[in-house]
Amino acid sequence: MPSDLPGIVRLRDRREALTLRAILDAARGLFAERGYARTPIRLIAQEAGVAPQTIYAHFGSKAGVLTGLVDLLDDEAGIPDLMTASEGMTDSGELLGMLAKASRQVRERCGDIVTILASGAAVDPDIAATQNEAGRRHRLGVEMIIDRIRTSGHAIDPRAADIAVALLSAGVHDSLVADAGWSYDDYEAWLKHTLAAAVLGE
């Protein structure tokens, strides 16, 4: 009997992971459809097929559910894979191209989460703090890439990180893709070229 315990534990962990994913998927759809403020925990639970107490036990609150979606964003957008791939990069243009690709993947795969986060931040101070933390982490990632370019000996604008963060912003994406109708291929290619021109002077 004891030899069966690891299997039971793995099964329990898998079941819990599936429950968490069901809650996050339900919340993601409902937040996008109804808005954060108009989506009660009761409705998320109903959509996910769980009891409301299960959501409170795992996430603590509706704001906690949205924080869970933000944590999901990096994985869904493939950011860990891009960061791993960038570890061997030494070419400045390739590094900036990786930033362009990361921005494209976040907007293309998880743009709904970014929008939900902004709407939640407008009505909940805890979510505003989560949004600020996400922005801080994003800037740190950009600064890390800029520092790698700088230490490689490439002369770059002293405000390169500020420029890159501005070009990677949601406003620039929305203006080009949502408003002007650009494809994501066009957006990524333009972003890579514009980052190189602004940061490297190429």
pLDDT of amino acid 23: 96
**Residue 106 in contact with residue 114, Cβ under 8 Å?**
yes
pLDDT of amino acid 2: 47
pLDDT of amino acid 111: 92
Give residue 35's region: left, alpha or beta (phi > 0; psi -120 to 50).
left
Express each pLDDT in 160-173 by its tens digit: 999 999 999 999 99
Q: How many degrees, rounded to 5, is the angle at CA 94 between CA 93 and CA 95?
A: 90
DSSP-based three-state secondary structure for 17 = helix
Tokens of 118: 């902004």
Q: How many C-beta neighbours within 10 Å does residue 53 have?
A: 10
Query: The domain 1-60: what is its CATH number?
Result: 1.10.10.60
pLDDT of amino acid 8: 53
- The ranges of the chain with pLDDT < 70 are 1-11, 202
Q: How many C-beta neighbours within 10 Å does residue 14 have?
A: 10
pLDDT of amino acid 11: 64
pLDDT of amino acid 1: 41
pLDDT of amino acid 6: 57
